[in-house]
């Protein structure tokens, strides 16, 4: 069964959700990141997806204290992205407890550096974060786009050991209108040795069931959970059967 990975996006240490990656279109939720992580762990969730939106904008990690709290207060795995632009930032994120580091802008703008990280001692903990806007890779907190598409990056990094890619369709992020199914099934068919995580547009468990039926392996859900379109009980039941 497809693995559900709940998302926690951070601004100022608080849980937020953006719409289409627009910082001006954000909604803040009351529960603390640690409280949310504990709720997910209680539901049997093995991993959460945490994005440091302050860090993405500032080009350096900005909410590592939250990461430390989550790792100290739960036993859940954390994949962490946002602001990892150099070796120092990467080391700080891993030292704070991240199990996996999501690398986006560096992979697109400094591919040789990302290849070095993939081939290094922590290579298995590297996840390519491929955020797509109008078919192109978006970088710097989704504020700019490059000339590359997802396939270009995957082709480049496979020889260096790339195995995990999170693909976020920005046009659907926070819209609750369903994921870009053809995008993900096409990528999985083209690169069967890569594990692609679906991100963006999830609106209900029906979306997740449909992705599962298509053989996709991981899916990130954020706003649908906060807006109670996917309940914690549904996540619990799914995790028990996974």
Domain ranges of the chain: 3-241
Residue 34, CA distances (Å) to 41, 201, 206 in order: 10, 24, 28
Q: Where in the sequence numbering do the catalytic residues fall?
A: 9, 131
Q: Residue 39: which H helix or E strand, with range?
A: helix 33-42
* Three-state helix/strand/coil letters over 173-198: CCCCCCCCHHHHHHHHHHCCCCEEEE
Q: Does residue 222 contact residue 174 with C-beta atoms inside 8 Å?
A: yes
Residue 213, SS3 per DSSP: helix
What is the token pair recorded at 133?
Answer: 């806007």
pTM: 0.94
Q: Does residue 129 contact residue 92 with C-beta atoms inside 8 Å?
A: no
What is the token pair recorded at 228?
Answer: 């109670």
How would you write the pLDDT of the chain (242 residues) with one tens digit per residue?
999 999 999 999 999 987 766 787 788 887 899 999 999 999 999 999 999 999 988 999 999 999 999 999 999 999 999 999 999 999 999 999 999 999 998 999 999 999 999 999 999 999 999 988 887 898 866 668 788 889 999 999 999 999 999 999 887 776 778 999 999 999 999 999 999 999 999 999 999 999 999 999 999 999 899 989 999 999 999 998 87
Taking domain 3-241, whether its CATH number is 3.20.20.70 is answered by yes
What is the token pair recorded at 207?
Answer: 């979306």
Alpha carbons within 13 A on the beta-carbon side of 218: 21
| Rounded Cα gap, residues 177 and 202, in angstroms | 7
**CA-closest candidate to residue 84, choices 110, 65, 66:** 110
| Rounded Cα gap, residues 215 and 192, in angstroms | 11
């Amino acid at each position: 069964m497809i693995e559900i990975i709940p998302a926690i996006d951070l601004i100022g240490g608080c849980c937020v959700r953006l719409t289409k990656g627009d910082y001006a279109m954000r909604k803040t939720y009351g529960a603390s990141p640690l409280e949310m992580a504990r709720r997910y762990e209680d539901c049997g969730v093995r991993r959460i997806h945490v994005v440091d939106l302050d860090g993405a904008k500032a080009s350096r990690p900005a909410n590592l204290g939250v990461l430390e709290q989550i790792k100290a207060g739960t036993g859940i795995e954390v994949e962490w992205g946002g602001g990892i632009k150099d070796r120092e930032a990467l080391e700080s994120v891993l030292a704070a407890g991240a199990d996996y580091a999501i690398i986006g802008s560096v992979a697109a703008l400094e591919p040789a550096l990302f290849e070095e990280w993939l081939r290094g001692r922590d290579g298995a903990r590297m996840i390519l974060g491929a955020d797509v806007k109008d078919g192109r890779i978006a970088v710097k907190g989704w504020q700019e786009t490059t000339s590359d598409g997802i396939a270009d990056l995957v082709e480049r990094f496979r020889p260096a050991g790339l195995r995990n890619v999170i693909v976020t369709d920005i046009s659907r992020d926070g819209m609750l209108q369903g994921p870009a199914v053809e995008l993900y099934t096409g990528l999985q068919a083209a690169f069967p040795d890569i594990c692609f995580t679906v991100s963006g547009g999830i609106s209900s468990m029906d979306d997740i069931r449909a992705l599962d039926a298509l053989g996709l392996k991981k899916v990130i859900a954020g706003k649908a959970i906060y807006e109670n379109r996917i309940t914690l009980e549904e996540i619990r039941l799914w995790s028990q059967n996974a």
